[in-house]
Amino acid sequence: MPGDLPVILHHFDESPFSEKIRLVFGLKKIAWTSVLISRIMPRPDLMPLTGGYRRTPVMQIGADIYCDTQCIIRELERCFPTPTLFPGGNEGLALASAMWTDKSFFQNTVNLVFGSLADKVPQSFIEDREKLRGAKFDIAAMTAAIPQMRDQYRAHVGWVETQLADGRSWLGGNEVSLVDINAYMNLWYVRSNLPIADELLAEFPRVRAWEARVRAIGHGARTEMSTAEALEVGRNSSPRTQEAGDPHDANGRKVGDLVDVRPDDYGKIAVRGRIVSLSAHGIAIRRHDDIAGDVVVHFPRAGFLVTPAG
């Protein structure tokens, strides 16, 4: 535990990105606090903490709020360095692997899952995601694309099988790393939703054995807290992030600048605040919220837009 504060994860059980973080808890044997949030908006106890960022999961340590799994994972590695997520000196590649697993591989996985679930997807969920994306969540098109999605999924899973071909236990070698957790999310999501998971993996024996090894990592020690209690923790805490400028910032941004931060793909809701710290990989902004009080919200740089505000 970082000092006296609980590590809180705002998530829902069906969320594949949350599964990555739950596995990091398992790998590092972290005792954590689960706050179950609704799968769709509104999330009235969470938005005061994030300032409007609405993707899942979000990690909270007191009044420091971590958005996006890239950012959450970096903070967990900093606070709980042992065992490392980056054995054997592969930190850069392991972190960069998210741009494969979370983008093209995941897009493919999501289309396969929702296209196959078809009319089982609740209308309320479709409406919520259309609002988030600002575009049609076109289940019929996803269903029509299933043959292509199966081809693509096979290619992605095929790379995992190829990587395991020399008999290694984990994608990076003999020790588990972040690459395993990143890639596994896409298998977990299909297995959690589609009865054809076994059929899709039938030709990949090494992947099936690896999948079982990753699953066995587990989720660490989980206890539950309500959304209202988590908001109370935020309100009763002060942010602990130290100020840190970045002399190499490509745009000359400085601590104290007022900026908007938003994802660059969809759900482009801006969170506004003053820079507390920034680096090539992270930006933290301070904001005041009438309900949550003073909070510092952390984002990664890759996949996010930072623009001057005001």
- The residues binding ligand GSH (CB under 6 A) are 15-17, 54-56, 68-70, 102, 132
Query: Smallest distance, Å, CB 308 to ligand GSH?
Result: 23
For the record, the structure tokens of 194 come out as 């589609």
Query: What minimum distance in Å lies between the beta carbon of 306 and ligand GSH?
Result: 16
Residues in the chain: 310
Distance between CA atoms of residues 261 and 276, nearest Å: 13
- The DSSP-derived string for 142-155 is HHHTHHHHHHHHHH
Minimum CB distance to ligand GSH smaller for 257 or for 298: 298
Distance CA 246, CA 9 (A): 29
Cβ atoms of 114 and 80 closer than 8 Å: no
CB of 278 to ligand GSH, least distance (A): 19
Q: Which is nearer to ligand GSH, 102 or 211 (CB)?
A: 102
Q: How far is the CB of 230 from ligand GSH (least distance, A)?
A: 16
Between 22 and 28, CB nearer to ligand GSH? 22
Q: Are 170 and 210 in contact (CB under 8 A)?
A: yes
Q: Which is nearer to ligand GSH, 245 or 267 (CB)?
A: 267
Please identify, using beta-carbon distances, which residue of 69 and 193 lies nearer to ligand GSH: 69
Least distance in angstroms from the C-beta of 30 to ligand GSH = 18
3-state DSSP assignment of residue 216: coil
* Residue in the shown chain whose Cβ atom is closest to ligand GSH: 55
Rounded Cα–Cα distance for residues 208 and 178 (Å): 18
